[in-house]
């Protein structure tokens, strides 16, 4: 008997490309998820789906950039609540999160490219 192990039945395959409809669906869900769960949907979407198509990669990266920017704003606003202005910063950030995420989700659902305004570009 040979002690060599046989090769695996199926070799590793690169992830398959998503269909355009699936890319639009996932991009829409990532943007809407940012309203409820902050940066987690964008981070998970970017890690899992970035190699599955250019549309989903662009939308997940832009959503993650926006959510990281918002996390920084929430942190600064939380610190500045001591002097009172932080409450206004937190309220403005919450409103911008809802409005811009809905606009981005609608654009993604239409198959359009979208870039959030007022965002620091951490990822391309």
pLDDT in tens, the chain (124 residues): 556 776 666 666 677 899 999 999 999 999 999 999 999 999 999 999 999 999 999 999 999 999 999 999 999 999 999 999 999 999 999 999 999 999 999 999 999 999 999 999 999 8
Confirm if 70 and 38 have CB atoms less than 8 A apart. Answer: yes
44 domain-assigned: yes
91 domain-assigned: yes
Q: How many CB atoms lie within 10 A of CB 3?
A: 4
For the chain, the domain total comes to 1
57 domain-assigned: yes
Distances (CA, A) of 26 to 10, 94, 95, 96: 28, 23, 23, 21
Q: How many CB atoms lie within 10 A of CB 5?
A: 6
13 domain-assigned: no
Cα separation, 13 vs 29, in Å, equals 26
pLDDT (0 to 100) of residue 15 = 75
pTM over 0.75: yes
61 domain-assigned: yes
The domain in which residue 56 lies consists of 20-110
- Please tell me the number of Cα atoms within 13 Å of 65 on its side-chain side: 19
- Give Cβ neighbours of residue 77 (< 8 Å, ≥ 6 apart): 86, 87, 89, 90, 93
116 domain-assigned: no
6 domain-assigned: no
pLDDT (0 to 100) of residue 9 = 62
97 domain-assigned: yes
């Amino acid at each position: 008997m040979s002690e060599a192990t046989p090769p695996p039945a199926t070799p590793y395959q690169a992830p398959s490309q998503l269909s355009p409809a699936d890319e639009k669906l996932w991009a829409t869900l990532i943007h809407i998820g940012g309203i409820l769960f902050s940066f987690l949907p964008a981070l998970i979407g970017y890690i899992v789906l970035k190699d599955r198509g250019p549309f989903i990669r662009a939308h997940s990266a832009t959503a993650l950039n926006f959510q990281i920017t918002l996390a920084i704003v929430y942190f600064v606003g939380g610190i500045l609540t001591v002097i009172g202005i932080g409450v206004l910063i937190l309220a403005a950030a919450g409103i911008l999160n809802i409005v811009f995420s809905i606009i981005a989700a609608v654009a993604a659902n239409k198959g359009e490219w979208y870039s959030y305004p007022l965002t620091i570009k951490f990822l391309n």
